[in-house]
Amino acid sequence: MMYRQPVLKNRRTLLERAEKFISDVYFTDCNLRGRLYGDSCPLESLASFLSSKRIPFTEAAKQNFAPHKVGDTFGPTWWTCWFKVSLKIPESWRGKEVHLLWESDGEAMVWRDGQPVQGLTKEGEKTSYILSECLKDEEPHSITLYVEVACNGLFGAGQGSMIAAPDPNRKFSVQKAQLVVFNRDVQEVLTDFEMLVDIVKELGEGEQRGYQALFTVNEMVNLCDPSDPRSFSKARSLAHSFFSQRNGESQHTAHAMGHCHIDSAWLWPYEETIRKCGRSWVTVIRLMEKNPEFVFTCSQAQQFQWVQSWYPGLFSQIQDYVKKGRFIPVGGTWVEMDGNLPSGESMVRQFLEGQRFFNHEFGIVCKEFWLPDTFGYSAQLPQIMQGSGVSNFLTQKLSWNLVNTFPHNTFFWEGLDGSKVLTHFPPGNSYEMKGKVEDLVKTVKNNKDKGRANHSAVLFGFGDGGGGPTQLMLDRLERVQDTDGLPKVQASTPDKLFSQLRADSALLCTWTGELFLELHNGTYTTQAQIKRGNRRCETLLHDIEIAGSLALCRDGTFQYPAEQLQKLWRLLLLNQFHDVIPGSCIEMVVEDALRYYEDIQSDGAKLLKEACGALGSKGNAAGVFNSLPWERQEVIQIQDGAGEPAVALVRVPSIGLSRVEDTQPVTPVSVTKQADGSVLMENGILKMVINKDGTLASLHLINANREAISNGCHGNQFVMFDDVPLYWDAWDVMDYHLQTRKPVLEVVQPIHVVSSGGLRSSVSFTLRISDKSTIKQEIVMDAMCPYIKFNTEVQWAESHKFLKVEFPVRVRSPNATYEIQFGHLQRPTHRNTSWDWARFEVWGHKWADLSEHNFGVALLNDCKYGYSVHENTMTLSLLRAPKAPDANADMGTHHFTYAIMPHAGSFQEASVIQSAYNLNFPLRSIQCSPNTIPWSAFSVSSAAIILETIKQAEDRKRALVLRLYESHGSSVTTTLCTTLPVREAWHCDLLERHDPTQPAHMTSEGITLTFSPFQIVSLLLIL
Ligand SMILES: [Zn+2]
C-alpha cells in the first residue's frame, strides 16, 4: 500500500479520528455519516386506527382511519395501532434509492397489497422499508401502505428494567415517517470504515495487523471527501486490499448462519409471538431476495405452524426457500423446551411432533437438536436425540455458569445410557451476534478446544424477542470472508458445520452426564401452578392414551381420539417452552398457560371417560383402572351405596382393570393420641410419631427395625429463607439464601385426628408462616402403603421468600439419587469442590433418594421439581415469591402432595420408583359390568423395566406403539406379556419408524426384550 506520507504512530488520535469520521453523534455536519441520507419528502397523508385486539389485515383495512400527526401518542401497552400511509415519490428522484423511513416505538409490520412485506423496529435496527432500489419512471410513484404497530417493544414493556413486570399504560409514538433518498455508496464506505475501526480495537496493540488496519483507515479518511462521492472509490479500494489480504490455511473457520431466537412467550404473550415470527421472517425473506448467499436457521415447529395459519402467503415463500436449502428448519422439536422439567415422554413428543411437522411441511428430518437458550440439559437427552434421528446438538447457555467455566465448546456429550451426540457451543457465547469483528475475534479466542476443533458457529441476528439479521450484518460478514488476522467466514448450514466437526473429531473430548447450568436454579420452583399443571397433564395424557389403546382392542367400535390427543399434546408441549414451564414469564403468559392446562384437563377428562367407558363395557358396577405396569393394591376414595365418600382397599392387575371388591388389609392402620399431644400411627410397615406441630419425632421402618429420622431432629420441618437474587428474580436463587434459614414454628392449630379408619388414618394441623401466609397439612397413612403422604395447602402471600420442607434422615452417603427422564442420576451431598457446591439447588422429577447400604429414605412428590440434599438432610423446595417479571408470581392458594418412604435394601429393590409412579398416577374409578373379572393387558416380568407409554401408532390405525425403559441402571432380559391379539411386533425408533430387519422376538410367553442400563425401547405392535 502507498501512504501519502509517514504518519506518527499515535494510535489514539488516528483511531479516534476515524471513529469521529463515521460517528452518528459527533461532527455529523461534516462527516461521512451525515451524508447517509439525501433529500427527504413528507408523506402525502398519515392516518391511524387503534385496536385493543390483534386483528387480521383484512379486518384492519376496513376500519375508519383518522388523521395522525407524527409525534401523536397512542397506546396503551399490548394494543395495536394500524397506520394508513399514502405517499408520492418525487419524479426528480429518478435513479435514486428511495426508502420509507419509519422510526416509531413498538414493533411494526409493513403491509402492501394485502401482504406482509417487511418488519420494522428501532430496537432491531430496522427503520427503512425500501420502496425502490433505483427509481425508474415506469415504477408506481403513488403508493398506499399499511403499517401495523404493536404496542410493545422487542422485549415487551417492562417498567424500569427489562425483566420488570410490564407497564400496562405505556404510550407510544411515531417519531419519523417520511420518504428519503438513501445513499447506498455512503453506506458501503461507512461499513468499510466500521470494520477497520473494529479490527484496530479488537486486535489491540499486541498485533501488527491492528496497526495495518489503523494506517489503512487513517489513509481512507485522507482520501475520502464526504461531499464528493467520486472520492469514495479510492477509499473503498484501499479497504478492499486490506480485507483481501488472506489468511494461512490453518485459520479457524466461522460458519455464519442467520438466526432469530424468538421466545415462544416470555415478556409478551403467545399471541404476540405469532406476529413476532411474521415480522422477523418476512424480513428474512426480503434479505434472501437480495443476498443469494444468505442462510437462515429457524427452530420450533410451533412457530412455523403459527405462521402457516396466520400468514399463509409468507409461509409458502418460506417453503420455497426451504427447498432451496437457505431457510433451514432446525432443532426437530415442537418448541425449544426446557431441558430439565418435561418428563421423558414429553421430551419424546417434542421431537415426535416437531420432526413430523417438519417432515410433513418441508420433507426434511432435522439432524441437529437446537436449544441455545435454556437452563440446563438432562442426561437423557442424548439418547432421546439419537432415537429421534438427531446426532448433533447446539447450545451455548452453559457459558452463563456463575461458578465454573465449562471446559469445552466442541465435544461429544455422552448421556445416561452411553448414547453420544456431537455437541457445539458457539464460542462467541451468544445466539444473537451481529456479524461484528468482536464476534469473530471472540469466536476464536474463547474456543476451549483450540487445536481440537477448527470450526465454529456464528449465529447472527437480533434475538430473544425476534428481529433477526439485518443487511448491515450481512455486509459486515461479506467483507471479511478471508481476511488475515480474523477467522475465515463462510455462509454455512448446521449440516456443513457438524459434518466438518465430525470429519476431524478424532481429538475431541467427551463429557458424560448432565449439562447442569449453575444459574437459574429457582426455575425448578417458580410458578408452582404451571409445574402442577404440567405434571397433571402429563399423567392425564398418559392415562388417556393407555385407556384408549386398550379400549381400541376391547371394543371394535371405539375410535381412538388421535386428533384430539394431538391437539392436547401440542398445548402441553407449548407450555414446556423454556420461559413458560420454568416460570420466568410475565403474568399474561401465566394466565394463558394455566388456561391451556385447564383446557387439557377438561377435554382430557372427557376423552378419558369415553375410553374408560369403552374399556369397562359401559356397565354400572364400580371398577378401577390401573395405567401402570404392575399390580397395585391401594386404598382409594370411592362412593359408598348412599353416595357418600368412603375408602376401599382394591387390587388391580398391571395395565388393567378390576371391579371394586373391598378387601381387608393384613394390618389395619392404628392411631393413638399420646399424653403429650403427639400422635402415634402404625400400619404394620411404618410406625410414626407426629409432634403437636406436625413435625415427625420418629419414623420407624418396622421389619428392618430402623429409625429414619436423624437423632434429635424432626422430619417434615417447614423452613423459610430470604430469597433475593442478584438480578434474575424469577430465575435465580443464590447460594447465600441458605444462610437465612428460619424454621416455621408457629402453630395455629395443633394436630388432631381427621380419620381413624382401619384403611386410612390421618391427622391435620395448621401453621402460620407470617401474618399473610399459612400452611394447612393432612398427614395420611394408608393400610399396606410403604410411604406417608403429606397433603398440603398453603396460603401464600410472601415477597422474596422461599418455602421448603426438610427431612433430616439417619442415612450417611456421599451421593443422593434423583429421578430424571427415563432414569435417575446421582449428585453429591457434600461441597468439596466448586462443581459440588454450585449444585446447592438441583432438579429432580417424582422422587429423590438418599441411601446407604441396605437402608435409605426416599422423598416423593406429585408436582415439585426443586430438591437439595446436603449431608443427611433431604429438602424439597415448595414455593418462591419473586416479583419480576410477574409481580404476582405464586401469590394465592397452593395444593401439593409429597411423601416420605423409608426402605430397606436399595431404592431399586424397595420399589421406590414404582411408589413414586403410584403417587402420581392415581387409580382411576371407572364403571364396569358387574361380571368383570380382573383383566391385564400388559405385564413385564422384570421390575426394572417400566412400560411407560402405550399409544396408537401415528401412521397406522390398528397398531400400537409401546415405550419401555430400564429404570434400575442394569442390564436386563425380560418378557413383555400381553393378552392383546398382537399379530406382529417390531422395534421402532422414537419417531415410530420401524426397521423391517428388526422384528421383536415373540415367543409363546410374550415378547423377549433385552435392555442395557437406562435404555429406552420402542415397539410397534400390529394388531
Ligand atoms: Zn429464549
923 within domain boundaries:
no
Q: Are residues 899 and 1004 in the same domain?
A: no
Mean per-residue pLDDT for 963-975?
A: 98
Q: For residue 193, give every residue at least 6 positions away whose Cβ sits within 8 Å of its Cβ, in sequence order, or none.
A: 18, 21, 22, 32, 217, 220, 239
338 alpha carbon – ligand 1 mean position (Å): 10
75 within domain boundaries:
yes
380 within domain boundaries:
yes
Cell triple for 727: 438480578
Domain tally, the chain: 6
Q: How far is CA 949 from the centre of its chain?
A: 23
Helical spans, DSSP H, in 50-132: 57-61
Q: How far is it, in rounded angstroms, from Cα 641 to Cα 660?
A: 12
266 alpha carbon – ligand 1 mean position (Å): 8
The pLDDT confidence band at residue 8, using thresholds 50, 70 and 90, is confident
DSSP-derived letter for residue 607 is H
Of the chain, the percentage scoring pLDDT greater than 90 comes to 96
| pLDDT at residue 640 in the model | 78
Q: How far is it, in rounded angstroms, from Cα 988 to Cα 510?
A: 28
Q: Are residues 434 and 535 in the same domain?
A: no
* 552 and 546 Cβ atoms separated by less than 8 Å: no
Single out the residue in 884, 905, 926 at which a domain terminates.
905
* 923 and 633 Cβ atoms separated by less than 8 Å: no
CATH of the domain at 291: 3.20.110.10
Q: Are residues 731 and 860 in the same domain?
A: yes
Containing domain of residue 158, as a range? 34-182
Of the chain, the percentage scoring pLDDT greater than 70 comes to 99
3-class secondary structure, 98 = strand
Question: What is the secondary structure of 314-327 as a DSSP string?
Answer: HHHHHHHHHHTTSE
Single out the residue in 905, 922, 946 at which a domain terminates.
905
The β-bridge relationship of strands 892-904 and 938-940 is unpaired
979-990 residue pLDDT tens: 999 999 999 999
Single-letter code of the amino acid located at 446: N
630 within domain boundaries:
no
654 within domain boundaries:
no
Mean per-residue pLDDT for 73-100?
A: 98
156 alpha carbon – ligand 1 mean position (Å): 14
Model confidence at 758: pLDDT above 80: yes
CATH of the domain at 67: 2.60.120.260
Polymer length of the chain:
1023
| pLDDT at residue 3 in the model | 55
Mean per-residue pLDDT for 261-287?
A: 98
400 alpha carbon – ligand 1 mean position (Å): 13
* 458 and 443 Cβ atoms separated by less than 8 Å: yes
Which of 212, 237, 232 shows the shortest CA–CA distance to 7?
Answer: 212
694-730 residue pLDDT tens: 999 999 999 999 999 999 999 999 999 999 999 999 9
977 alpha carbon – ligand 1 mean position (Å): 44
373 alpha carbon – ligand 1 mean position (Å): 5
| pLDDT at residue 662 in the model | 77
| pLDDT at residue 666 in the model | 83
Q: Is 338 exposed, middle or buried (0-12, 13-18, 19+ CB in 10 A)?
A: buried
Q: How far is it, in rounded angstroms, from Cα 371 to Cα 231?
A: 48
799 alpha carbon – ligand 1 mean position (Å): 26
| pLDDT at residue 663 in the model | 80
Q: How far is it, in rounded angstroms, from Cα 897 to Cα 919?
A: 9
103-143 residue pLDDT tens: 999 999 999 999 999 999 999 999 999 999 999 999 999 99
Which range has the worst mean pLDDT, 314-318, 403-407, 619-623?
619-623
DSSP-derived letter for residue 783 is T
Q: Are residues 719 and 676 in the same domain?
A: yes
Q: How far is it, in rounded angstroms, from Cα 827 to Cα 809?
A: 17
Mean per-residue pLDDT for 886-912?
A: 98
CB atoms within 10 A of CB 932: 18
3-class secondary structure, 75 = coil
Q: Are residues 547 and 453 in the same domain?
A: no
579 alpha carbon – ligand 1 mean position (Å): 7
CB atoms within 10 A of CB 76: 16
CATH of the domain at 570: 1.20.1270.50
802 within domain boundaries:
yes
| pLDDT at residue 5 in the model | 67
Q: Find out whether the peptide bond into 981 is cis, omega within 30 degrees of 0.
A: no
Which of 858, 829, 828 shows the shortest CA–CA distance to 846?
Answer: 858
The pLDDT confidence band at residue 752, using thresholds 50, 70 and 90, is very high
* 266 and 584 Cβ atoms separated by less than 8 Å: yes
Half-sphere exposure of 907 (CA within 13 A, CB side): 30
The pLDDT confidence band at residue 618, using thresholds 50, 70 and 90, is confident
Catalytic residue of the set 72, 167, 185, 373: 373
3-class secondary structure, 5 = coil
In angstroms, what CA-CA distances link 752 with 635, 668, 680?
21, 19, 12
339-356 residue pLDDT tens: 999 999 999 999 999 999
260 alpha carbon – ligand 1 mean position (Å): 10
Which residues partner with 815 through β-bridges? 828
| pLDDT at residue 616 in the model | 84
Q: How far is it, in rounded angstroms, from Cα 336 to Cα 292?
A: 28
Cell triple for 8: 506518527
- Scored b (16 or more CB within 10 A) or e, 229-255 reads eeebeebbebbeebbeeebeeebbbbb
CATH of the domain at 992: 2.60.40.1360
586 alpha carbon – ligand 1 mean position (Å): 14
848 alpha carbon – ligand 1 mean position (Å): 29
Q: How far is CA 275 from the centre of its chain?
A: 20
CATH of the domain at 866: 2.70.98.30
Q: Residue 587 — φ and ψ, nearest 5°?
A: -60, -40
Question: What is the secondary structure of 535-554 as a DSSP string?
Answer: HHHHHHHHHHHHHHHHHHHH
3-class secondary structure, 966 = strand
Model confidence at 236: pLDDT above 80: yes
3-class secondary structure, 1012 = coil
| pLDDT at residue 232 in the model | 97
461 alpha carbon – ligand 1 mean position (Å): 14
768 alpha carbon – ligand 1 mean position (Å): 38
126 alpha carbon – ligand 1 mean position (Å): 21
Q: How far is it, in rounded angstroms, from Cα 129 to Cα 993?
A: 46
Q: Are residues 802 and 847 in the same domain?
A: yes
Which of 783, 803, 757, 780 shows the shortest CA–CA distance to 690?
Answer: 780
Q: Are residues 218 and 173 in the same domain?
A: no
Mean per-residue pLDDT for 274-280?
A: 98
Q: What is the mean pLDDT of the chain?
A: 96
**Residue for grid cell 435392555:** 1011
The β-bridge relationship of strands 621-626 and 656-659 is antiparallel
Q: Are residues 705 and 824 in the same domain?
A: yes
627 within domain boundaries:
no
Give the CA angle between residues 825, 534, 944 to the nearest 5°: 35
Q: Are residues 750 and 786 in the same domain?
A: yes
Which of 37, 34, 32 shows the shortest CA–CA distance to 223?
Answer: 32
Q: How far is it, in rounded angstroms, from Cα 616 to Cα 555?
A: 10
Q: Are residues 206 and 148 in the same domain?
A: no
In angstroms, what CA-CA distances link 917 with 638, 697, 923, 951?
21, 27, 11, 19
Q: Are residues 339 and 459 in the same domain?
A: yes
3-class secondary structure, 18 = helix
Which of 784, 778, 780 shows the shortest CA–CA distance to 761?
Answer: 780
373 is catalytic: yes
465 alpha carbon – ligand 1 mean position (Å): 8
634 alpha carbon – ligand 1 mean position (Å): 43
262 alpha carbon – ligand 1 mean position (Å): 7
Mean per-residue pLDDT for 930-949?
A: 96
771-787 residue pLDDT tens: 999 999 999 999 999 99
State the first-to-last Cα distance of the chain, in angstroms, to the nearest integer.
79
797 alpha carbon – ligand 1 mean position (Å): 29
Cell triple for 480: 471479511
Helices 562-575 & 528-554 angle (0-180, nearest 10): 160
Q: Is 140 exposed, middle or buried (0-12, 13-18, 19+ CB in 10 A)?
A: exposed
Q: How far is it, in rounded angstroms, from Cα 218 to Cα 228?
A: 18
CB-based neighbours (< 5 A) of ligand 1, an ion: 263, 373
Which range has the worst mean pLDDT, 59-63, 338-342, 551-555, 649-653?
551-555
Mean per-residue pLDDT for 372-394?
A: 98
What's the chain's Rg over C-alpha atoms? 32
664 within domain boundaries:
no
* 953 and 960 Cβ atoms separated by less than 8 Å: yes
* 1007 and 1017 Cβ atoms separated by less than 8 Å: no
Q: Are residues 847 and 858 in the same domain?
A: yes
52 alpha carbon – ligand 1 mean position (Å): 27
Which of 421, 486, 423, 410 shows the shortest CA–CA distance to 449?
Answer: 410
Single out the residue in 450, 479, 512 at which a domain terminates.
512
CB atoms within 10 A of CB 832: 9
Cell triple for 793: 395447602
714 alpha carbon – ligand 1 mean position (Å): 42
Give the CA angle between residues 474, 479, 484 to the nearest 5°: 135
| pLDDT at residue 926 in the model | 93
| pLDDT at residue 165 in the model | 95
